[in-house]
Amino acid sequence: MEKLGLHDFIGSTLYVSIDDNRYIKGTLVALDSQLNLLMNHVREQNGEGSNLVQRAMGLVSIPQSTIKSIKITEDELNNIVEFKHNFIKSIV
């Protein structure tokens, strides 16, 4: 199996944990050489339990220095792996 790079996740829905107990869900649109993320259709979740606040944010740039973790659903990951495998297979 080929290794996946962050660029392979462009177009995928990511769940990003950032500083200050905030979570971002959105579609990865682009990344730069410093690994800052540009995400679209972003929803931010801040706080926990009864203090939970959510808001729609649209297009957002996330500095790499604020990112704690990045997650993706298993189904989405499997789709990316299958697409890349079929793409490479069609070239050879």
Half-sphere exposure for 91 (CA within 13 Å, toward CB)? 6
> By the 8 A CB rule, do 80 and 4 touch?
yes
Two tokens, residue 21 = 């107990």
pLDDT in tens, the chain (92 residues): 568 888 899 999 999 999 878 999 999 999 999 999 999 999 999 877 778 889 999 999 999 999 999 999 999 999 989 988 888 888 86
Return the domain boundaries, the chain.
6-91
Place of tokens 């790499």: 64
How far is the C-alpha of 22 from the C-alpha of 20, rounded, in Å?
Answer: 6
DSSP 8-state symbol, 53: E
CATH topology of domain 6-91: SH3 type barrels. (2.30.30)
